[in-house]
Chain A
């Protein structure tokens, strides 16, 4: 494991930021509709496509990738488990129940209400999770992720039950499958809420770092451990549900990006979170662009491209690295 010095690290960070900027610029000019720099200024329709479709889509991808990477890193610290990701505490399953519920019971409501209610359910499912763990003594560190998984399974079972009854399995799958093809202005704005929370997480990173101490040491040192966990989980649930309800889940990202970052940078959140966000955003944007390019004029969902390419890349990285003893 190499620890970079402060200077090379800042340079590297700058390089990645530039890389993201370049990708974002390129992303504005990839898509089914034929756009050139000149036509955007001359042609009214072209400028509309740019403003209503390309710009929102690019922003949505960057935010989703960044938020999922960052929140993934946070969840792994909160749940004290390398395999944890935001879906581990039932948020995505809660969103699914909310989506199905509004779709069945209140279909007349406008789309943004659907997404709002869905993310509300994501948050609600988190409160359910809390009321359960509050009842329990968690003397075994393995217990928290296990409870999270089983809790997710219960919520998932409810969602599947409803979806089966109403023949909405394909609906649910499509909605939860991370895909940016229908992101246009007016349909994605909720994701900015997730971006705001991500900024808040970074701002609180020094405090959240204390979670790395573990409950017993932390308490002995006077850290309000439970409160910190509570705040962290609310932020995880809120941002995840906002992303999932608007553009779907890219499950792989929150799991593996933070793991790779930690492999090089260690456990300090203040240091690792911006990297998780940056790398998550770059990778997801690259994948979405590739999806647009490869199957032009049709679409490939970003989650698919990410699953395949990201999967191959991570397998390679994990396989190549010398087995550490």
Chain B
């Protein structure tokens, strides 16, 4: 990775942040401070979480087509919410305070991750693709329950559920933002300590073991880091992890030879850019129509294809 590329990406990040923070504010800094700074922080935290979680998950799964969304954590999140809406009714559900829901959701998702992946890794560390198939099966099992309950609730309750099923930064609460920041900091510190080992881990199971990496322990640890990132971000804003696929695909298209450390830094910035820039477009261009993830998946997908075409021409 060249210094030049990193400078470029940081510049894009700064520009998109400025656009998000200042566009349509009329230069009223009080206004920006009151309404946009918190949201901007949340967008950055979640963007970085998505990028790191996806990179780590793809490292463990040795596959570039998977996202942490496949672990079924967001299905657990949705099931919890759709059941609560169905049982209480939408309006009663809306009365529950956001922080209580946040902590319940984090606890549930983490319990699920520990129970399922903690257990499976021990058994299937030699056969990661089987482990992933089990993960997919579990995720789809819960997903079909979600879809079932979602069709039983009345149209008005469904609208409420629809507001939860797509990530939203409008409702982020300041107190919870601190929690997520803490979680992210913890993960980054962990990664700072182990990132050289990740390069060795990526060589594959046998080489890694030969080079002295405690493979099972490291797999478990990496999956738990992913679960922590996914749980905290999903509980804060809703399911958003699909687009991690786009981030790693774009970083890979830009820097096919990057090592883990620089890959993660790039991915983190691109994750932050996607969310901040996506939200800027969502708010200022689309006027809040549809959702943020629609914007990101559409534009991110196009960017990915453009990069692919460009690399073909330069070849």
Which residues of A does B touch, CB under 8 Å? 81-83, 132, 135-137, 142, 145-147, 149-151, 153-154, 156-158, 160-161, 164-165, 167, 169-170, 173-174, 177, 251-252, 255-256, 259, 300-301, 303-304, 306-308, 311-312, 314-315, 318-319, 321, 323-325
Question: In the complex, how many angstroms separate the beta carbon of A149 from the nearest chain B beta carbon?
Answer: 6
Name the interface residues of B36-81: CB closer than 8 Å to any CB of A: 63-66
Partner of B297, one of A132, A156, A308: A156
Q: Is there contact, CB below 8 Å, between A160 and B312?
A: no
Residue of chain B at shortest CB distance from A251: B140
Q: Is there contact, CB below 8 Å, between B133 and A174?
A: no
Residues of B within 8 A of A324 (CB): 126-127, 130
Given A170-B151, A259-B133, residue A135 in contact with residue B309 (CB < 8 A): yes
Show 18 A/B contacts (Cβ-Cβ < 8 Å), sorted by A: A83-B65, A132-B305, A135-B312, A153-B243, A153-B300, A158-B298, A160-B294, A161-B290, A164-B291, A165-B289, A173-B147, A304-B144, A306-B144, A307-B145, A312-B141, A315-B141, A318-B133, A324-B127
Please tell me the number of chain B residues within 8 Å of chain A, measured between CB atoms.
Answer: 52
Question: In the complex, how many angstroms separate the beta carbon of A164 from the nearest chain B beta carbon?
Answer: 4
Q: Is there contact, CB below 8 Å, between B294 and A164?
A: yes
Given A83-B66, A318-B137, residue A325 in contact with residue B129 (CB < 8 A): no
| CA A256 to CA B140, docked complex, whole Å | 11
Partner of B133, one of A132, A165, A256: A256
Question: In the complex, how many angstroms separate the beta carbon of A248 from the nearest chain B beta carbon?
Answer: 10
| CA A167 to CA B156, docked complex, whole Å | 11
Which residues of B does A touch, CB under 8 Å? 63-66, 123-124, 126-127, 129-130, 132-134, 136-138, 140-141, 143-145, 147-148, 150-151, 155, 158-159, 162, 166, 242-243, 245-246, 249, 289-291, 293-295, 297-298, 300-302, 304-305, 308-309, 312, 315
Residues of B within 8 A of A82 (CB): 129, 133
New A-B contacts (6) at CB < 8 Å, excluding given A174-B151, A252-B137: A83-B66, A136-B309, A150-B304, A170-B155, A170-B158, A255-B136
Given A151-B301, A153-B297, A304-B145, residue A165 in contact with residue B130 (CB < 8 A): no
Q: Is there contact, CB below 8 Å, between B140 and A252?
A: yes
Residues of B within 8 A of A149 (CB): 65, 245
Which one of A142, A149, A252 has the highest number of Cβ atoms from chain B below 10 Å of its Cβ? A149
If over half of A's interface residues share one DSSP class (helix, strand or loop), that class is named, otherwise mixed; here it is: helix
Q: Is there contact, CB below 8 Å, between B289 and A315?
A: no
Partner of A169, one of B123, B158, B305: B158
Question: In the complex, how many angstroms separate the beta carbon of B17 from the nearest chain A beta carbon?
Answer: 23
Residues of B within 8 A of A323 (CB): 123-124, 126-127, 130
Partner of B144, one of A146, A156, A170, A252: A252
Question: In the complex, how many angstroms separate the beta carbon of A311 from the nearest chain B beta carbon?
Answer: 3
Q: Is there contact, CB below 8 Å, between A177 and B145?
A: no
Given A146-B65, A170-B158, residue A311 in contact with residue B150 (CB < 8 A): no
Residues of B within 8 A of A169 (CB): 158, 162
Q: Is there contact, CB below 8 Å, between B145 and A308?
A: yes
Q: Is there contact, CB below 8 Å, between B144 and A145?
A: no
Residues of A within 8 A of B249 (CB): 146, 150
